[in-house]
Structure 1
Amino acid sequence: MDDELQERVEREAEKHALLNAVKHESDADVGAIMGPLMGDNPDFRPHGDEIPGVIGGVVGRVNDLEYEEKRERLEELAPEELEEIEAEEEEDEHDLPSLPNADEYDEVRMRVAPNPNGPWHVGHARMPAVIGTYKERYDGWFCVRFDDTDPETKRPDLDAYDAILEDLEYLGFEPDDVYRASDRLETYYDHARELIELDGAYTCSCSGDEFSELKNSGEACPHRDKDAETVKEEFEAMVDGEYESGEMVLRVKTDIEHKNPALRDWVAFRMIDTPHPREEASEYRCWPMLDFQSGIDDHLIGITHIIRGIDLQDSAKRQQFVYDYFGWDYPEVVHWGHVQLDAYDVKMSTSTISELIEEGELDGWDDPRAPTIKSLRRRGIRGEAIVDAMVELGTSTSDVDLAMSSIYANNRDLIDDETDRRFLVREGNQVPLAGDPPAEANPPLHPDHEDRGVREIPVGDSVLLEPEDLPDDDAEDRRVWLKGLGCFRFDDGVLEYTDDDIDVVRDEGVDVIHWVPAEESVPVRMRTMDGDVRGRAEPAVGDLEADEMVQFERVGFVRIDRQDDDETVVYYAHA
């Protein structure tokens, strides 16, 4: 090997040793860099027997450097390769992949575009969770745009506009702007007029079946070649409400022989007789289809990145025809699969939930049995717990399963440390006490925080226990440890105080059980996903304020909903 070749080998070996060391944040390894080195430099291969001896010293010198020195030296030798490593490192810091071509825009601008036909179900949380997270990551911008231009089949619910914004706030995000598409009809009309001038649209009075037959056979509609003046006049008649529903539509001219029939001369505007529920929009009868309205708005609002379901891939293709007519650049698009949710008997569908509420099967959108964001909020689930679970799903094009257990685990991490403990006995058996037990029990408010103090639970003459906690008739050891009170032996339907030390729990396996005093306990109605559960809790629960979180020991976390005259109502969150 001559001196010139050896110098090249050493230089390339240093680069590959630095790449290996920086990427893995460890010492470089001769064996690990041999393959890449020889792959990048095929002319080294005839000297394969000599190469290891040459690069061994180089690797040793690289490994003597501090980590930051390695990065600095790599930036000198191979700045582009270092950028790739840094991009991979940044990717690893996030649950979400980088947005496509995000660095090519002055500002990443996104939109959450709900149909306000009802409050959000749990699946709806994915969009704001991901878009809000991207906004924070890129210091970007996002708006809420209510796509409410279908006053008939997806009729808006007037209460849903504010309800959705409240859900968004609960999830931890604030939009930079809010739009209602039903306020923007004149804007869509103006762009339709311009599209007609560009010979990009025509009015069509074919019935749905007639056009479908033509479309599927790749034949042009007989109205396709109308002159522009006629199209303008008929469109203005549509705007003025002179046609009835189904009598006239405005179609975008595409490719009538396109391989995908769904893209052939699609409808941009149609007539709807049903008035819009918003008074401001109630006089309009000519309404844009979502693909037209959304496409126009995305450009005018300056949206750079759209996230939408994989089932809406045709929307981008339809809208591209309009963008081509106007000479606009289409935003970047990320398609993802659907979220499928476990743990609920009720279908995750706005229309289904609405029907169940109307039929009285559910109390409302915040019924604990409803798979809605309002229900989770009332149960004491924090918005952050939902967002983290949604972000962890990523943006895969495959359908993804969301286990409610992941939301519960996130919420538990958020609330466990700050939530005090209490006792609740469900459908308890009343058992007399004997043997002179203490008059008051003092279990800790929180097992990990002695500084918070203890509870003061009066004992009385009898306690309530859950039936399964009572020792079986044939049990060899009939002792139980009433938590915070002491050891008792259960005989002949009575709990006899034994005054045994806590060592009987550790050394002899005596069960620790929860309990409440029979006389002074307070009635509780616990609302759960499986229906209401009745029970009684230690007295102090009756004094807790609404919205406080409590962990009923051996039962689970609950949110105090209200104090009624005859009971405390709580909503069950999770175990």
Structure 2
Amino acid sequence: MDDELRDRIEREAETHALVNAVKHGGDADVGAIMGPLMGANPDFREHGDQVPGVAGRVVARVNDLTVEEKRARLEELAPEELAELDAEDEGEEHPLPDLPGVEEGEEIRMRLAPNPNGPWHLGSARMPAVIGTYKDRYDGWMLCRFDDTDPETKRPDMDAYGEIIEAIEYLGFEPDEVVKASDRVDTYYDHARELIDLGGAYTCSCGGEEFSELKNAGEACPHREKGVETVREEFEAMVDGEYGSGEMVLRVRTDIEHKNPALRDWVAFRMVDTPHPREEAAQYRCWPMLDFQSGVDDHLFGITHVIRGIDLQDSAKRQAFVYDYFGWEYPEVVHWGHVQIDAYDVKMSTSRIKELVENGELEGWDDPRAPTVASLRRRGIRGEAIVDAMIELGTSTSNVDLAMSSIYAANRDLIDEETDRRFLVREGNQIPLGGSPPDEANPPLHPNHEERGVREIPAVDSVLLEPDDVPGREERIWLKGLGCFQFTRDVLQYTGEDIDVVREGEVDVVHWVPASESVPLRLRTMTGDVRGRAEPGITEYEADDVVQFERIGFARFDSVADDGEKESVAYFAHP
């Protein structure tokens, strides 16, 4: 391949890489540009074995640019391509559709309804992301109601109440009011009594299997025709705890022949022998089912719009019977499908994560391997990035997949410009230096902001390189910030060549650290811990600071040792 052809490939690859990066708001992908690149330039095909290598180096350079720099470079090379991308963006609808049935001047009131049986897995973040965004769009009102009226099957975790509120705030939202359903049990009792007086509920002592057979056959159980006084007396006995678990329930009277058996005379209250873990609610034994409790609260708090999973369609239909008895107007409902998230080996389930934490397979809910909000927060990913990725999913009734790369791309846009660069070498190989190189390397703290200054990295007798970066015999490499070296007789000999050898594509650029003056660091990742050595300047940081380890990715410091002999710990965020 001659120089003229190589230059053409580089120019064309750069344009295609920039279009790919700007279109998707992140980094360009070599595989994604190869088809368009070869299609637009048929004469490249006879060099198909060499083009990917040339294009790969171009893509790497493009991905080192910030979002703003990519746009500026694309405008310089192909302004018509940038204009076309911007026109496509302007024509796109907002991923969240307008809420249905909104009347002019109406206050939009929505609610989050978390079950505090554990901290939030990542899928749980979709609800506050979407509802919080709608609240902001409509200048509305948002309730956080803890649905904690199941002290047995989904037993509340006492720490989860506070952890969930912290998660909501981390995502960038603040509820206008916070309530616990377990504080409102007497309110549910009052509405049950009213429903009984309206003839809308009856007590039933049928066994579960017995009632199920009758229900499926469309036949009423013998208790359905009890008088109101009897029903009232038996319900008060339930409230007083005179029945044990499974001995008596209160059912909402619906249509026993309804075409959907799930709606036939559903249970509104049942007996639970297990005391609630909250001291304020431990005296109750008669607990409302979620459909009754939630339906009553949605009305009493004036909720105008409810967003829930498509699997809960029957909840609205059940609650509609109660609303009809009371003469209430049912809120507008938006149903959506489940969200699936890639990149994790751990199932996104509160019960499964809790099990892994309890048996020690995960160190906690913020273990980097856990698909949880707490884990992403500890890794240094901003809540805003999660929200941006979640609202892009919209509110489709179909199940949707969320690629973690979309969260990473959103976070990269938020933090890239303000994040210092540093070197970290993982499991490094030590190689002596020769040939009188400079005593110190001074790479910039940030390549786009010279005003922030440079790092001071001593170039002592030997350096550490990552195993994949160790050159072959007589090969040259460029130690970033230091210069060009040739690997001769197990020594990196300084050649004194200038940066043109890199620009011409002859020499690879690698990061490094001084062997004797680097500091130990443990990088916690989704696939396990990696130990390495970092440049000495990291001791200047504090816990929660975020840096970009060049050619590795962004990471949040969890602890920073002020003694260079002690190990610092950082959590890997993403490339």
Q: Which category of TM-score, normalised to the shorter sequence, fits these structures?
A: 0.7 to 0.9
**Residue matched to 2:508:** 511
AA aligned to 1:375 is S
1:502-533 superposed Cα distances (whole Å, 9 cap, x missing partner):
11111251111100000000000000000001
CA distance, structure 1, for counterparts of residue 397 and residue 405 of structure 2: 23
Pairs within 5 Å for 1:461-480:
461-473=461-473, 478-480=475-477
- Cα shift at 1:200: 0.4
**Residue matched to 2:293:** 293
Q: Under a length normalisation based on structure 2, what TM-score does the superposition of the two structures give?
A: 0.83
AA aligned to 1:373 is V
CA distance, structure 2, for counterparts of residue 562 and residue 472 of structure 1: 37
Pairs within 5 Å for 1:280-359:
280-359=280-359
Aligned partners of 1:91 and 1:97 also within 8 Å:
no
CA distance, structure 2, for counterparts of residue 216 and residue 91 of structure 1: 51
Pairs within 5 Å for 1:115-514:
115-473=115-473, 478-507=475-504, 509-514=506-511
Aligned partners of 2:463 and 2:512 also within 8 Å:
yes
Pairs within 5 Å for 1:9-24:
none
**Residue matched to 1:541:** 538
- Cα shift at 1:468: 1.1
**Residue matched to 1:567:** 567
**Residue matched to 1:86:** none
CA distance, structure 2, for counterparts of residue 506 and residue 98 of structure 1: 51
Q: Structure 1: where are the runs of 5+ without partners?
A: 1-88
AA aligned to 1:496 is Q
AA aligned to 1:521 is S
**Residue matched to 1:100:** 100
- Cα shift at 1:92: 5.4
**Residue matched to 1:73:** none
CA distance, structure 2, for counterparts of residue 513 and residue 445 of structure 1: 16
Secondary structure of the residue aligned to 1:534 is: strand
Please tell me whether residue 555 in structure 1 is matched to residue 552 in structure 2. yes
AA aligned to 1:248 is M
Secondary structure of the residue aligned to 1:103 is: coil
- Cα shift at 1:548: 0.8
- Cα shift at 1:453: 1.1
Superposition CA RMSD, Å: 1.3
CA distance, structure 2, for counterparts of residue 274 and residue 291 of structure 1: 20
Q: Which of the two has higher C-alpha Rg?
A: 1
Aligned partners of 1:445 and 1:454 also within 8 Å:
yes
- Cα shift at 1:103: 2.1
CA distance, structure 2, for counterparts of residue 193 and residue 497 of structure 1: 88
CA distance, structure 2, for counterparts of residue 339 and residue 362 of structure 1: 23
**Residue matched to 2:521:** 524
- Cα shift at 1:501: 1.0
1:383-435 superposed Cα distances (whole Å, 9 cap, x missing partner):
00000100010000000000000000000000000001000000000001111
- Cα shift at 1:93: 5.7
AA aligned to 2:129 is A
Q: Under a length normalisation based on structure 1, what TM-score does the superposition of the two structures give?
A: 0.83
1:249-277 superposed Cα distances (whole Å, 9 cap, x missing partner):
00000000000000000000000000000
CA distance, structure 1, for counterparts of residue 517 and residue 372 of structure 2: 36
AA aligned to 1:507 is E
Secondary structure of the residue aligned to 2:293 is: helix
- Cα shift at 1:90: 11
Secondary structure of the residue aligned to 1:209 is: helix
**Residue matched to 2:86:** none
> Does the C-alpha gap of structure 1 residues 98 and 508 become closer, same or farther in structure 2, counting only changes over 3 Å?
closer
- Cα shift at 1:542: 2.2
Secondary structure of the residue aligned to 2:170 is: helix
Aligned partners of 2:96 and 2:394 also within 8 Å:
yes
- Cα shift at 1:104: 5.2
> Does the C-alpha gap of structure 1 residues 508 and 350 become closer, same or farther in structure 2, counting only changes over 3 Å?
closer
AA aligned to 1:492 is R
**Residue matched to 1:33:** none
Pairs within 5 Å for 1:27-66:
none
CA distance, structure 2, for counterparts of residue 276 and residue 326 of structure 1: 29
AA aligned to 2:445 is L
- Cα shift at 1:492: 1.4
> Does the C-alpha gap of structure 1 residues 231 and 508 become closer, same or farther in structure 2, counting only changes over 3 Å?
closer
Equivalences, count: 484
> Does the C-alpha gap of structure 1 residues 130 and 90 become closer, same or farther in structure 2, counting only changes over 3 Å?
farther
1:512-559 superposed Cα distances (whole Å, 9 cap, x missing partner):
110000000000000000000100000011231111110000000000
Segment drifting more, 501-510 vs 530-539: 501-510
In percent, how many aligned pairs have the same letter?
Answer: 78
- Cα shift at 1:472: 2.4
CA distance, structure 1, for counterparts of residue 173 and residue 425 of structure 2: 39
AA aligned to 1:295 is G
CA distance, structure 1, for counterparts of residue 544 and residue 333 of structure 2: 40
> Does the C-alpha gap of structure 1 residues 154 and 508 become closer, same or farther in structure 2, counting only changes over 3 Å?
closer
CA distance, structure 1, for counterparts of residue 486 and residue 90 of structure 2: 61
Secondary structure of the residue aligned to 1:186 is: helix
CA distance, structure 2, for counterparts of residue 464 and residue 419 of structure 1: 24
> Does the C-alpha gap of structure 1 residues 104 and 238 become closer, same or farther in structure 2, counting only changes over 3 Å?
farther
Secondary structure of the residue aligned to 2:324 is: helix
Segment drifting more, 159-168 vs 504-513: 504-513
CA distance, structure 1, for counterparts of residue 488 and residue 219 of structure 2: 90
Secondary structure of the residue aligned to 1:123 is: helix
1:483-508 superposed Cα distances (whole Å, 9 cap, x missing partner):
00011110111111111111111125
Aligned partners of 1:91 and 1:98 also within 8 Å:
no
AA aligned to 1:464 is L
Secondary structure of the residue aligned to 2:250 is: strand
Segment drifting more, 312-321 vs 555-564: 555-564
> Does the C-alpha gap of structure 1 residues 304 and 105 become closer, same or farther in structure 2, counting only changes over 3 Å?
farther
CA distance, structure 2, for counterparts of residue 463 and residue 262 of structure 1: 69
CA distance, structure 2, for counterparts of residue 512 and residue 90 of structure 1: 39
- Cα shift at 1:246: 0.2
1:149-181 superposed Cα distances (whole Å, 9 cap, x missing partner):
000000000000000000000000000000100
CA distance, structure 2, for counterparts of residue 508 and residue 221 of structure 1: 83
- Cα shift at 1:94: 2.6
Aligned partners of 1:521 and 1:538 also within 8 Å:
yes
Secondary structure of the residue aligned to 2:559 is: strand
**Residue matched to 1:21:** none
Aligned partners of 2:444 and 2:455 also within 8 Å:
yes
Aligned partners of 2:472 and 2:487 also within 8 Å:
no
CA distance, structure 2, for counterparts of residue 528 and residue 438 of structure 1: 34
